[in-house]
């Protein structure tokens, strides 16, 4: 079968790979859609933590079920997606129902080869029924689940202000599920094109350009001087993360969904006097995937909104580098296999 391998930073090569063989407790999928995410872009750039080359990227996937062992209820030809965080099932996190942060987790397309291929073998326990959703929709369940998980970590309550820093695909998903939870969303980014997307496509009332606006004054104005009680970073930018500590209300929760390699810096007195809570949010759980699928089926989220670029699998190598350029306006690139 044909695969696309990121051999070194900045280099893709199409290669012939072995068709996956049936194995115990695993299922074989025929890949139909591949969503391109920040992890893929960072891996290509050489800035993704916990990453080794060469690697087949791709974990935002929709597929047809081909065959499987220990996969009751799944039938050949059925549209499916899956949870791409493969866990041990035995560590303290797994025993606590937090398989998303398993101590020996293997993320598909990061720690093990992913779905930029014609076929893929995955643990059968990771499978999720398509529930009548299209392949495009199913490929967007995973990134939206990350947003849903971050909102669940923040325990967003109806009526409270939620500042989402970063209007990329993950940030947009956070905004969607903060809205669904009843939060009043404030979108912050440095790209006016993305902020306009938040207004026009997601109905976000309040937007702030962190480069051009006086952020503190804008937040005071929007929140009547209270500041947001939830701040969620989806940038992975060290500067943005450090700045985020300034934006919290007293008693606020700050959730880091974005990931970067360096050390964050806070003023302990400023953090302490707020009795603030700092949390990370990693990956997502099955209940987040199910919440996303229910929300899609109810029409609360329109996944098609996110897809701005579409290519065939054979075109990815030539097109991929262009998706890194903000001038190209990429929200979500979708690959058809």
pLDDT computed for residue 209 by the predictor: 98
pLDDT computed for residue 303 by the predictor: 87
Length of the chain: 337
Mean pLDDT along residues 36-53: 86
Which tens digits make up the pLDDT trace of 281-305? 999 999 999 999 999 999 999 988 8
pLDDT computed for residue 248 by the predictor: 98
pTM: 0.94
pLDDT of 262 strictly over 90: no
Band the pLDDT of 42: cuts 50, 70, 90.
Answer: confident
Which tens digits make up the pLDDT trace of 195-211? 999 999 999 999 999 99
pLDDT of 49 strictly over 80: no
pLDDT computed for residue 234 by the predictor: 97
């Amino acid at each position: 079968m044909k695969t696309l391998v990121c051999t070194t930073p900045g280099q893709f090569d199409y290669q012939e790979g072995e068709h996956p063989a049936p194995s115990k407790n695993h299922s074989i999928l025929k890949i139909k859609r591949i969503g391109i995410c920040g992890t893929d872009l960072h891996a290509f750039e050489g800035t993704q933590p916990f990453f080794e080359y060469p690697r087949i990227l791709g974990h935002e996937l929709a597929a047809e079920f081909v065959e499987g062992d220990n996969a009751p209820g799944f039938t050949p030809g059925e549209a499916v997606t899956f949870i791409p965080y493969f866990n041990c099932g035995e560590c303290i996190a797994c025993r606590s129902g937090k398989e998303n942060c398993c101590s020996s987790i293997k993320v598909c397309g990061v720690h093990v080869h992913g779905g930029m291929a014609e076929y893929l073998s995955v643990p059968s326990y990771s499978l999720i029924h398509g529930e009548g959703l299209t392949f495009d929709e199913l490929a967007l369940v995973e990134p939206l689940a990350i947003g849903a998980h971050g909102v669940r970590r923040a325990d967003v309550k109806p009526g409270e202000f939620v500042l989402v820093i970063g209007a990329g695909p993950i940030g947009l998903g956070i905004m969607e599920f903060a809205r669904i939870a009843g939060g009043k969303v404030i979108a912050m980014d440095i790209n006016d094109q993305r902020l306009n997307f938040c207004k026009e496509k997601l109905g976000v009332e309040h937007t702030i350009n962190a480069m051009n606006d006086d952020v503190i004054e804008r937040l005071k104005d929007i929140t009547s001087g209270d500041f947001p009680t939830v701040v969620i970073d989806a940038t992975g930018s060290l500067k943005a993360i450090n700045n985020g500590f300034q934006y919290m209300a007293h008693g606020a929760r700050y959730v880091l969904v974005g990931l970067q390699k360096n050390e964050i810096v806070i003023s302990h007195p400023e953090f302490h006097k707020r009795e603030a809570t700092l949390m990370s949010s990693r990956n997502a759980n099955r209940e987040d995937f199910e919440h996303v699928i229910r929300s899609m089926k109810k029409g609360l989220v329109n996944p098609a909104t996110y897809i701005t670029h579409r290519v065939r699998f054979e075109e990815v190598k030539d097109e991929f580098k262009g998706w890194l350029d903000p001038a190209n306006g990429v929200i979500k690139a979708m690959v058809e296999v």
